[in-house]
Amino acid sequence: MINIVVVSHGNLAAELIKSAEMIAGESQGVYFATLHPGDTPESFEEKIDTTMAKIEGQKTLILIDLFSGTPYNITAKQLLKDNVECITGANLPMLIEAMISREDADLSELAESISQVGINSVKNLKPMLRKR
């Protein structure tokens, strides 16, 4: 099974996991690391290191809230490990899909499919509804 780590500014990561578990059920191997006001890059890196130490050597998919900023800058270093993939733009559909598809998945294929789920989950509703 592939582990999932959600990384964000503020409490977004923890709340995304709670929301995903409401829909997909409780899940093992799902972790979070959050950057809060007053955290330094060094203290945030300690949070990432502590979280990753729990699953050292295991396949891990990391979902990061933004492509830039401290969570991204610190967490992207994890890509130096062969068994880690990182995707930015984390959202609820991506996390749910990752949780339900990770049991027997290939890590790089899961990362690619989750990226597509994220892209496909963004909709501008007004033009869609006007067509009907």
> What digits encode the pLDDT tens for the residues 63-89?
999 999 999 999 999 999 999 999 999
Query: What integer pLDDT is reported at residue 131 of this predicted model?
Result: 77
Q: Residue 55: pLDDT above 90?
A: yes
Band the pLDDT of 124: cuts 50, 70, 90: very high
Query: What integer pLDDT is reported at residue 76 of this predicted model?
Result: 95
Q: Which of 47, 46, 45, 6 is nearest to 27 (CA)?
A: 6
Q: Which of 42, 95, 89, 104 is nearest to 70 (CA)?
A: 42
Query: What integer pLDDT is reported at residue 104 of this predicted model?
Result: 86
CB atoms inside a 10 Å sphere around CB 104: 7
Mean pLDDT computed over every residue of the chain? 96
Query: What integer pLDDT is reported at residue 62 of this predicted model?
Result: 98
Query: What integer pLDDT is reported at residue 89 of this predicted model?
Result: 97
Domains defined along the chain, listed by start: 3-130 (3.40.50.510)
**Reported pTM:** 0.94
**Do the Cβ atoms of 90 and 64 come closer than 8 Å?**
yes
For residue 84, which amino acid is it? Answer: V
* Interval 88-123: pLDDT, tens: 999 999 999 999 999 989 999 999 999 999 999 999
Q: Residue 132: pLDDT above 70?
A: no
* Interval 4-45: pLDDT, tens: 999 999 999 999 999 999 999 999 999 999 999 999 999 999
